[in-house]
Structure 1
Amino acid sequence: MKNLLFIISFTLMSSAIHAQIKTNHIAVHVANLEKSSQFYEEILDLKEIDEPFKDGLHAWYDICGGAALHLIEAPDVPNEISKINHLCFSMENMDAFISRLKTTGYPFEDWPGEKGKITTRPDGVRQIYIQDPDGYWLEINDDY
């Protein structure tokens, strides 16, 4: 939690950007999407919402306040920190945020791991990934 507060503080420190951030989604790596979806729908009574990938490996659920739970099926749930498990914040001015990262030398990458690059999802949302000091992944996107 101390490290997450560091990232949030870092995000809000710049005098050039005083945009509020909000939680966009929480991504969870699951071994079996069907089984996990059944749990979240039937046990937790979450409402499934549209998901942009349409590949049978993702499911999205409304968790209120504009936030979503994003289930991602992938083999072998990892023992190490994985980019699939990440916290996502949406930025009102992502270009200014990226400029500040470049100015300060704070590393970021796209989904495949190419340093200094931006991913554009199938729905047009742009995203980058950064790591906190403990290596936990945070997605920053422009779906504000």
Structure 2
Amino acid sequence: MKHFIFTVCILMISQTLSAQIKVNHIAVHVSNLEESMEFYEKILNLVEIEEPFKDGLHAWYDIGGGAALHLIEANKVPKEISKTNHLCFSIADMDSFVARLKSTNYPFEDWPGEKGKITTRPDGVRQIYIQDPDGYWLEINDDF
């Protein structure tokens, strides 16, 4: 009986801890803020939100669930860019998004790297990968 009580207490503590954390923002280091803002607004349709610094080096975007994307312009953007390290955004209408990419000739690829292709994961979620102006990889999927 003591073991059961201990297990229940551990579960209650872990549930309490996990409930006390949420994503606030994701920061992305960019080399040209204006160019990156154009990408995140025109390609991803993100909506810019209040920017607290007001110094011309930051931009903030609502990414849902109370979280934000924080773009920070600075010199020396990291050069090690891997598809494995990526941001992922889920969208409601993958077909319309892919059509928009095609209409603007914006390149996309599947996970293995085949241009213009969509990966379907074993769970049925469709995903593509695109790169922002600094070469960072973004996964776009329909797990909305």
Q: Please, what TM-score do these two structures have when normalized by structure 1?
A: 0.52
Cα deviation for residue 22 of structure 1 reads 4.3
Gaps of 5+ in 2: 1-27, 47-61, 68-78
Counterpart in 1 of 2:132? 132
Partner SS, residue 140 of structure 1:
strand
Counterpart in 1 of 2:40? 8
Counterpart in 2 of 1:118? 118
Cα deviation for residue 94 of structure 1 reads 1.0
Q: RMSD between aligned alpha carbons? A: 2.5
**Aligned residue pair count:** 85
Q: Is the 8 A contact 1:22 1:90 kept in 2?
A: no
Partner SS, residue 102 of structure 1:
helix
CA gap 1:22/1:86 in 2 versus in 1, 3 angstroms: same
Q: Does 1:106 align with 2:138?
A: no
Where in structure 2 are the equivalents of 1:36-47 lying within 5 Å? Answer: none
Separation (CA, whole Å) in 2 of partners of 1:80 and 1:87:
15
Cα deviation for residue 4 of structure 1 reads 5.0
User: Residue 132 of structure 1 aligns to which amino acid in structure 2?
Assistant: D
> Does 1 or 2 have the higher relative contact order (CA < 8 Å, sep 6+)?
1
- Structure (1 or 2) with the larger CA radius of gyration: 2
Partner SS, residue 130 of structure 1:
strand
User: Residue 111 of structure 1 aligns to which amino acid in structure 2?
Assistant: W
Gaps of 5+ in 1: 14-20, 24-64, 68-78
Separation (CA, whole Å) in 1 of partners of 2:85 and 2:66:
19
Separation (CA, whole Å) in 2 of partners of 1:22 and 1:92:
13
Separation (CA, whole Å) in 2 of partners of 1:143 and 1:132:
21
Q: Please, what TM-score do these two structures have when normalized by structure 2?
A: 0.52
User: Residue 7 of structure 1 aligns to which amino acid in structure 2?
Assistant: F
CA gap 1:108/1:95 in 2 versus in 1, 3 angstroms: same
Where in structure 2 are the equivalents of 1:1-144 lying within 5 Å? Answer: 1=28, 2=33, 4-10=36-42, 11-12=44-45, 22=63, 65=65, 80-144=80-144
